[in-house]
Each structure stands twice: as C-alpha cells, then as structure tokens.
C-alpha cells in the first residue's frame, strides 16, 4: 500500500458521510416544499397559511436552539466539573477532553458528569463556543484511557462538525412538516373540502380534487417520511463522528473497544429517554441497539460501526485482530 493511499481512503469515508447527510436534508426540504405547495393550493389560506405555520415552527426552534442544551443537561442530572481545579476522580477526564479540544482546534467545552453506573456519553450545545460534553461515572469507571480518549474524540467531533446545529436544521424541517400536516388534517376535518371544495367553485373541477387528494396523502405520509429521514441523518452523523474521532486520535481500535464495552454493558442508563437517546454515543435504550439496522434506529448498529473502525485500523498501523 502506498504512503498516500491510507489518508485518501480515510478522508473519502468522511466525505461520503457528509455528502449523504446533506442529500438527506435535501430530501426533507423537498418533502416540506411539496407539502406546503399542495396545502397552499388546497386551502383558502394559500401561501399565507403555510408561511404562518412555518413561522411558528421557527419560533419554537429558536427556543430549543438557545435553551435546549441546558434542558438536556438538567434532565440528565449532569453536574459541571471545574476544569481549572477538577477533583482527582475527574482529572483524567479533563485532561483527555483538553487533548481532544487541542487536536480538533475547537474551544474547550464545559465538562459534565452524570452519576450513573451505565457507561455512556453525549455532547450538546449550539456551536463550538457554546458546547458541553457529559459522561457517566460508569464510563469513567469501566474504561481505560485509550477508550476514554476515543469516546471524547467522538463527542468533540460532534462539536467540531457542527452536528448539533445540523440536527437542529433537520429538526426544524421535520417539525415544520409535522406542524403543517397536523394543521391541514385538522382544517380538513373541521371545515371539510379545503379551498372551496378543492377547486370546484373556481372551475378547477377534477384537477382541484386531484390536488386536494394529493395534499391529504402528503399530510399523512410526509411526517412519517420526515421522521425516517431525520433518523437516517442521525445515523450518518454518528458514522461521521466515529471516523472524525479517528482523525483526532489516530487510534481506531480505542474507539472500537469503547463502543463494544458500552454496547455489551448490561446496566440501564436511568436518566435516558426517547427524547435524548439520539444524543448518546451508543443508544441507551438497549432494545434499539439489539435489533438489526432499520430506518427507525437512531444509531448505526454497533457491529457496523466497529467494522468500519477495524477497516481503518490497518491504515494506522494497528491490528484489527486485537479486538476479540
């Protein structure tokens, strides 16, 4: 293998995940546009009604943008660590986060610890200057420094890749789809027939009825499609963070061993719920991770993630067989 082949393959993996993420966002945007156009035609409110619904969705998203991270940390029972003078128990954690911050060229995030024996971690915030990482005490107790470095590199990659902002963008689009669809279905139920009977009074005849029927169908299917694509984006960003973490540590097997340790741990993360499950490095709701990959999963299967990391190991002089 030539000296140049390894980095080319490595960066191709990063580019592939980024490209696929943006393609998925485009799909959601197109679904939203199609739904908005159909509803605008089928109702008396037209484009103004669609614009008002989107404005409400944007206002709700702004609240999540500026306060969502604090709510997540509060609901998770996370306590901030004084990085200037950390307790002995957390000194290694602070050192590793500092290393990964320097390696990635990102500001030092706030460091939080969750008192829970199940190993896991997540990152949150709206941008690298307003970011936090949180780890459980179980992760600190059950991992060596190499594994901890892999986990923190993954979380710092989420911050450096602007995954939190990216996820917000997708959330706004999917939330707008759900809001528009719900409003249109309620409007149809209470006022029945949409824009003057689907265009009958305007002489639209059959065409108006067809478009009204399409609007109804889109209102039913679009939220399902949007949610499925949102979860696909989440899986892509997790894959991107895995590979980006290797860029920081040059040690694929450290992260691979960490993922295996978290996935095989039998303890339940008590503070996790379905609203926050997508944030964690490994889905803390075990039933999801135990199933085969599907469009409703928030993360790629652990076996698939480990296989990618093992495939990169040789490029960094590591033996994949060391992961038994």
Catalytic residue among 13, 155, 238, 289: 155
Q: How far is CA 305 from CA 282, 300, 301, in A?
A: 10, 7, 6
Cβ atoms of residues 113 and 134 within 8 Å: yes
Return phi, psi of residue 134, to 5°: -135, 135
How far is the C-alpha of 253 from the C-alpha of 320, rounded, in Å?
7
Residues whose CB falls within 8 Å of the CB of residue 224, separated by 6 or more in sequence, listed in order = none
Block residue for tokens 């902002």: 165
Among 261, 266, 316, which residue's Cα sits nearest to residue 7? Answer: 316
How far is the C-alpha of 133 from the C-alpha of 113, rounded, in Å?
8
Residues whose CB falls within 8 Å of the CB of residue 222, separated by 6 or more in sequence, listed in order = 31, 32, 34, 35, 177, 180, 181
Q: Tell me whether residue 247 is one of the annotated catalytic residues.
A: no
Q: How many CA atoms lie within 13 A of 171 on its CB side?
A: 18
Residues whose CB falls within 8 Å of the CB of residue 138, separated by 6 or more in sequence, listed in order = 116, 117, 118, 119, 120, 265, 267
DSSP 122: E
Point out the residues that are catalytic. Answer: 155
């Amino acid at each position: 293998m030539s000296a140049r082949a390894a980095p080319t393959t490595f960066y191709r993996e990063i580019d592939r995940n980024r490209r696929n993420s943006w393609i998925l966002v485009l799909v959601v945007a197109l679904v939203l546009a199609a739904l908005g156009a159909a509803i605008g035609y089928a109702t008396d409110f037209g484009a103004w009604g669609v614009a008002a619904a989107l404005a409400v969705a944007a206002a709700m998203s702004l609240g999540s943008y500026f306060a969502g991270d604090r709510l997540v940390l509060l609901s998770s029972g996370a306590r901030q660590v004084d990085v200037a003078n950390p307790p002995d128990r957390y000194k290694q954690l602070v050192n590793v986060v500092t290393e990964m911050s320097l390696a990635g060229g990102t500001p030092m995030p706030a460091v939080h610890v969750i008192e829970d024996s199940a190993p896991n971690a997540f990152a949150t915030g709206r941008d690298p200057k307003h970011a936090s990482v949180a780890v459980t005490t179980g992760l600190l107790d059950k991992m060596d420094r190499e594994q901890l470095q892999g986990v923190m590199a993954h979380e710092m990659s989420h911050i450096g890749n602007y995954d939190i902002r990216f996820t917000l963008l997708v959330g706004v689009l999917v939330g707008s789809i759900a809001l528009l669809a719900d409003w249109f279905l309620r409007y149809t139920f209470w006022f029945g027939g949409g824009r003057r009977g689907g265009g009958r009074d305007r002489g639209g005849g059959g065409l108006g009825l067809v478009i009204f029927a399409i609007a109804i169908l889109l209102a039913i299917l679009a939220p399902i499609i949007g949610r499925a694509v949102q979860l696909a984006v989440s899986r892509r960003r997790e894959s991107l963070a895995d590979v980006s973490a290797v860029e920081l540590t040059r040690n694929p097997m450290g992260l691979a061993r960490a993922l295996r340790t978290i996935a095989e741990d039998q303890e339940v993360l008590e503070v996790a719920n379905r609203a926050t499950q997508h944030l964690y490095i490994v889905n803390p709701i075990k039933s999801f991770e135990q199933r085969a990959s599907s469009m409703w999963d928030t993360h790629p299967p652990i076996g698939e993630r480990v296989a990618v990391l093992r495939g990169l190991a040789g490029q960094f002089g590591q033996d994949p067989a060391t992961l038994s």
